[in-house]
Amino acid sequence: MPPRLPGIPLPRPAAPGGHADPGLQPERTVLSWDRTVLALHVTALMFVRWYSEVGVWAFAPAALAALVGAVIMLGQRRRYGRQSSGITVKRVRPAWRTVAGMVAFVVALSCLGLTAMAALLASGAPL
Amino acid sequence: MCTQSAPDADVDGTAAAPGRRPWEERLLDGGREPDPRFTLANERTFLAWIRTSLALLAGGVAVEAFAGEMFPPTVRFTLGALLLVVGALLALGAGVRWLRVERAMRNARPLPLPLVVPVLAGAVVVGTVVLLAATIARMG
């Protein structure tokens, strides 16, 4: 056994929450959520384009996206842990709540955009 | 998981996850939890569709906002609205597909065909033809 150098920790066994999946599924899934949150912010910030027409309300989608994004990002650690231990016990409960919430948010964003366009059309402002 | 036998939630006591409510069980169509890796793959596929849908939304707002003098206002407006509608439909389709795949996997049924694909392909073709026609009409 080599002499133990001060300050260098001994190798530790895998954390109890670790998984044995070489496909790194939990990591890929959590990263996928990360990318989705990024896309969410980009899309929501596009709505700032209506700033000159509706003022600060143009930031409403961005604020909403910040909220939804925060909820998703704050849950990432827990999500990874659940998926990781789920692979170990061979049971992961499908995250239907998050899926449904995501669909609802994207549809709401689309409706907001259509409403803004319809309002613009109705106001008779030059397109 | 093709090796799973067709489970029966009432007979097979292991089918129901502990603490799952009856309506939740109905939503997922009973069955038993598939290999967790497949559940996660389904989740990632759903997220990929959601990102596609978000890209369409961003494109819809962008076309309406930034296309400038390139296209006449009516074309810009129509294209923007079309992209927004297709984006919403795609998000709904992604959710429905996620659920259908989840149900199929839980009952060891063959996976459903992605019906969202023809919708997206059709929308992109329509959008391109509209743009092309508008551009040619403008030039001519």
What's the confidence (pLDDT) of residue B2?
A: 41
Examine the pLDDT at B51 and tell me if it is beyond 90.
Answer: yes
| Structural domain spans, chain B | 31-139
Position B46 confidence tier, pLDDT thresholds 50, 70, 90? very high
Which phi and psi angles does B100 have, rounded to 5°? -65, -40
ipTM score of the complex? Answer: 0.81
Position B139 confidence tier, pLDDT thresholds 50, 70, 90? confident
Paired tokens of A123: 């106001």
Mean pLDDT of B76-87: 88
Confidence (pTM) = 0.80
Mean pLDDT in chain B? 80
Cα–Cα distance measured from residue A71 to residue A99, given in angstroms and rounded to the nearest whole number: 13
Residues in chain B with CB shorter than 8 Å from the CB of A90 are 33, 35-36
Shortest CA gap B105–chain A (Å): 11
> Which residues, 6 or more positions from B10, have their beta carbon under 8 angstroms from its beta carbon?
none
> Which residues, 6 or more positions from B108, have their beta carbon under 8 angstroms from its beta carbon?
B1, B2, B4, B5, B6, B7, B31
Shortest CA gap B65–chain A (Å): 7
State the distance between the two ends of chain A, measured CA to CA, in whole angstroms: 77
User: Is some CB atom of chain A closer than 8 A to the CB atom of B31?
Assistant: no
Residues in chain B with CB shorter than 8 Å from the CB of A40 are 54
Cα–Cα distance measured from residue A7 to residue A89, given in angstroms and rounded to the nearest whole number: 36
HSE-up of residue A47 (Cα within 13 Å, Cβ side): 29
What's the confidence (pLDDT) of residue B20?
A: 66
> Which residues, 6 or more positions from A60, have their beta carbon under 8 angstroms from its beta carbon?
A47, A112
Q: Are A107 and B92 in contact (CB under 8 A)?
A: yes
Cα–Cα distance measured from residue A4 to residue B103, given in angstroms and rounded to the nearest whole number: 54
Shortest CA gap B22–chain A (Å): 15
Position B25 confidence tier, pLDDT thresholds 50, 70, 90? confident
What's the confidence (pLDDT) of residue B47?
A: 95
Examine the pLDDT at B8 and tell me if it is beyond 50.
Answer: no
Ranges under pLDDT 70 in chain A: 1-18, 125-127
Cα–Cα distance measured from residue B138 to residue A75, given in angstroms and rounded to the nearest whole number: 51
Mean pLDDT in chain A? 84
Position B106 confidence tier, pLDDT thresholds 50, 70, 90? confident
User: Is some CB atom of chain A closer than 8 A to the CB atom of B124?
Assistant: no
Q: Are B124 and B56 in contact (CB under 8 A)?
A: no
Asked if B54 lies within 8 A of A42 by C-beta distance, the reply is yes
> Which residues, 6 or more positions from A117, have their beta carbon under 8 angstroms from its beta carbon?
B64, B77, B80, B81, B84
Examine the pLDDT at B55 and tell me if it is beyond 80.
Answer: yes
Residue with tokens 């129509």: B78
- Between residues B26 and B88, which one has the greater pLDDT? B88
